[in-house]
Amino acid sequence: MDGDRSDRAPLLDLREVDETQVSVVGGKAAHLGALSRIDGIRVPAGFCVTTAAFRRIMAQTPSIDDRLDQLSHLSPDDREAISTLSAEIRRSVEETPIPGDLAAAITGALARFGERAAYAVRSSATAEDTPTASFAGQQDTYLNVVGPEAILRHVSRCWASLFTERAVIYRLRNGIDHRTVQMAVVVQQMVFPDASGILFTADPVTGNRKVATVDASFGLGEALVSGLVNPDVFTVRDGEVVASTVAAKERAVAALPEGGTREVAIDPQRQEQPALTQAQALRLVRIGRRIEAHFGRPQDIEWCLVDDDFQIVQSRPITTLFPIPAADDQENHVYLSVGHQQMMTDAMRPLGLSMWQLTAMAPMLAAGGRLFVDATRLLASPASRAGFLKMAGRDDPLMRDALETLLDRRDFVPTLPDQAGRGGPTTGGPSTSGEADPAIVPQLIERSEASIAALRRNIATVTGTALFDFLHEAFQEHKRVLSDPLNMQAIMAGMEATWWLNDRLHEWLGDKNAADTLTLSAPGNVTSEMGLALLDVADVIRPYPEVVAFLQDVAHDDFLDDLPKVTGGAEARAAIEAYLDRYGMRCVGEIDITRPRWSERPGTLVPVLLDNIKLFEPGAARRRFEQGRQKARQQAQEVLTRLRALPDGQQKADEAARMIDRVRAFIGYREYPKYDIISRYFVYKQALLAEAERLVGAGVLTETEDVFYLTFQEFHEVVRSHRVDDELIRQRRDAFRSHQALTPPRVLTSDGEAITGSYRRDDVPAGALAGVPVSSGTVEGRARVILDMAQADLEAGDILVTAHTDPSWTPLFVGIAGLVTEVGGLMTHGAVIAREYGLPAVVSVLDATRLIRNGQRIRVHGSDGYVEILP
C-alpha cells in the first residue's frame, strides 16, 4: 500500500497493515495485521487509529511540551513526582477534544459492524511488542465497549495510558525518550469466548524452544491475566501433551450486555473440567508454531476459543528468552558461558565480542551479547568427559552440576568414539606443568613486556585499512604469547600445587583449604600489587587536606588538570598518573574493549582512593604484605611439623615443602597473562578510537562510539568504503540495551534450555546461602552490595557483596573484611586475590545481590562455603 498515505491516514483497517508499520500503528496493531495475513489464522476484524491521530491530539494538549520536559528530568526512583506529573498529563490528554473529522472517521468505521456492536479498545504503542523491549501491561485495554460515545472516550483513555506511572518509569529506566514513543489505538470486534488463555511457543521458565505451554481458563482472558484463577496448563513437545494440570476454576470474567465486564461464579460441576481438550491444545500449538515461523522467533500468544474455533487476539515476542548461538547444523549442542569463567557476565557490545573472538584461544560463539564455547564433543567422548567435568567442578561446581543434569537425561548428548574428543582439556592425568623451573616466570614477564613495547612502537604510524591488516598480525602474536608452552606450564604449576596442597593436607591433617593461608602475600602477583599500590597513592595524598577536599567534590574525569591548583596537588597528580601508567588499562568488565579504561575515566578510582585515605594509616601496603608473608611462613612451619609426626612423616613433609615452595613461586603468575591481554587491548583500543575519530572528522560517523556497535570486520569495511549503515548501529544499540536486561545461563542448549545447576549439599544450615569456599576463615560484618565500583563507599569491617569481580575490583579488596560473589571458582581472579589478602570469601552464591540486602549483617564461612544472613 502507499506508505506516504498510511503515514498520514488517521485510520487503517487491520488487514492493511503489517509488522513494517510499527511507527504508524504501534506494535500490537502491526502484529495483529501481520497475523490476519497468515493463511488459516483467524483474527477479530477491526481498525487502527494511527499515530497520526495521536500526534494531532498531543499538539492540541495544553502545556504538554513543558510537562514532558519535566518528566524527562525525573529520576525513575522519584515515584511521588512521577505519579503526580503523569496523572496531570493523562488528565490533560483525556480532556482534549477529539477533532470533529477524526471523530466522524472513527464512528463511520464502526458502522460496518453496527453501532451497538461490542468492541475491544486496545493501546498499541510504537515501542510495544518489539523483539528488544516488552511493554506488556503498561498501557490500557478496555473490553466490551458499546456505542460510539464510549468508543471515543476509551480511545482517549488509550492515548493517555502512554503516561501511566509504570510506563513512564519503564522508559526512564531504559533510557527511552518519552517523545519517541507514540500511541495508536486498536478497535476490534469483541469476541465472547468459551475459553481463553495464553500460549507460549517456548517454555518461558527453561527457555526450551521445543516445549510449548498452554494456559487456559473459562470465559474472557482477563481472569487469567489478572490472577483471578489458576489456569489449566498443558505442556506440549513434539506434537504430544507430555504434562497437563487441570485447576479448580471457581471464577470467570464475563461480558455484560450493556458493556463492560464482571466476575461470575462458575457452576461447581464445571469448575474442575478442563477448559480445553488435549486435542484442542495440540491444535492450538500447531497454530502457534505457524505464527512463530512467520515472525521468526518464539511468541507469547493470546487466544480465544469460540465454538471450537481459535481466534488470535495478540502475539508478541517473548523478550525474556536468552538467544541461542547460531549453528550450521541441526545437531544438539551444549554451550558453556565464557563470562562465568572470565568473571564478567555483563552484556558486551559487538566490537567487544568480535575482538575477544579474534584473540581467544578457542572458537567462541556470540548470543545475547555474551560469548559461549561449544562443549558438545568434549562431553560426547567418554575419554574427555570425566576430565572435563572434573575441571569444570574445580572452576564452578554449579556448571558441573548443570552439565551432569543434562548428561543424566541420556537423550541429548550423543556418545561418540573416544578419539572424537581427543585434544580437549582434561585433568587428573600427568601434570601438564612438569617440573617447571621458577626462573621461567621472570623470563615470561620480560618477553611479554618486550612484545607489548614492540606493539606500541609499531602501531603508532599505521592508519586506515593498513591498521586492520596490522591488527590481524598482532592478534596472531597475542595468541602466540598466550599459547607458549612455558606460559601454560607456569600457570598450571601454581594451580596444580594449590590443588595438591588442599587435597593432601585435608587427607593427612584434616585441614580444609590449607593452601589459602600458604599463599598469603605470594610474590609477583600483578593484581594484588595493584590493590596495594593504590594504598601507596593514598599515602601521598593523605597529608594534604586540600587535595582530599578537592577529590571529595570531583564530578568529571578531567579533574587531574585542575589538581595542581591546590596545595599538594602536583604531588597527588604525579602519584595518580604513575599509578595509571602502570594500571590505567584496567577497568570493570575489561574483557570488553569498549568499556572505558581507568586512564580514560580516572574518576572511577576516586571513591576507592578516598576510602583508602579514610580507613588506613601510612605504610599500610608494606605492613599488610609483610604480615601476610609472615603468617604464610608460620603456617608452613606448623604444617611441616605436624606432618613429621605422622607415619612416613618425613616423606610427607618433604613433598609438602616442595609443593609450598612451588605454589609461592608460581601462584602469583596466575594473574599475569590477563594483565598481558588487557595491556594489549588498551593499545588496540587507542588505535581503533583514533581511526573512529578520523571517520567522525570526515562526516562518516556521528560519534566515535558508534564503532562499538560494529564488529571488527564491519569497522574495517567502514574504513575501506567510508560508508556506514546508521540504521544497523541504531538496531545494535537497541539490541545491546535488551541484552543488558538478560541473565546469561552457565549452560545453554541448542534447544534454548538454560540450565543453572544447584548445590547438592547437606552441610549448609537452613536459611544459609550455599557457595564455593575459596578463601578460609569466618567473618561477620555489614554487607555492602555494590554493583558499580565507582559507587563504593566502604567502612572498616564491611563485606563486599557483588555479582562478579575481575582484576579491576582489587583496589576495593584492601578495604573489606570479606567477599561474596554470584560468579567464580577456586582459581578465578577474586578467589586468588582474596587468598593473598587473607579475606574470607565465598563465591558462586546464586542471586547473592538480590537475596542479601545492602546494610544487613552477614557471616561469611570461607572454609565451609556458605553465607548466613543474621538477625
Q: Where would I find the beta strands (DSSP E) of 219-308?
A: 232-237, 240-245, 251-255, 261-265, 299-306
Helix H or strand E encompassing 624:
helix 620-644
C-alpha cell at 660: 609450598
Instruction: List all residues 6 or more positions away from 593 whose beta carbon is below 8 Å from its beta carbon.
Output: 351, 352, 355, 356, 681, 684, 685, 688
CA-CA distance, 27 to 506, in Å (whole number)?
61
Q: Indicate if 340 belongs to the active site.
A: no
Helix (H) or strand (E) holding 851: helix 848-851
* Beta strand segments in 776-847, E: 778-785, 799-802, 818-821, 841-843
Q: DSSP string of 323-359?
A: PPPP-SSSS--EEEEHHHHHT--S---HHHHHHHHHH
- Is residue 680 within 8 Å of 478, Cβ to Cβ? yes
Residues 6+ apart with CB under 8 A from 706: 692, 724, 729
Catalytic residue among 31, 739, 829, 861: 829
Q: List the grid coordinates of 247.
A: 485447576
Give the phi and the psi of residue 121 in degrees, each rounded to 5. Answer: -110, 120
The type of residue at 754 is: A
Return the closest-CA partner of residue 819 out of 525, 535, 809, 766.
809
Residue 617 three-state SS? coil
Cα separation of 829 and 809, whole Å? 10
DSSP 15: G
How far is CA 397 from each of CA 208, 404, 487, 492, rounded to the nearest angstrom?
23, 10, 26, 20
Residue 755 in contact with residue 406, Cβ under 8 Å?
A: yes
Which amino acid is it at 515?
A
**CA angle, 805 as apex, 497 and 809 as ends, to 5°?**
105
C-alpha cell at 229: 484463577
Residues marked active site are found at 829
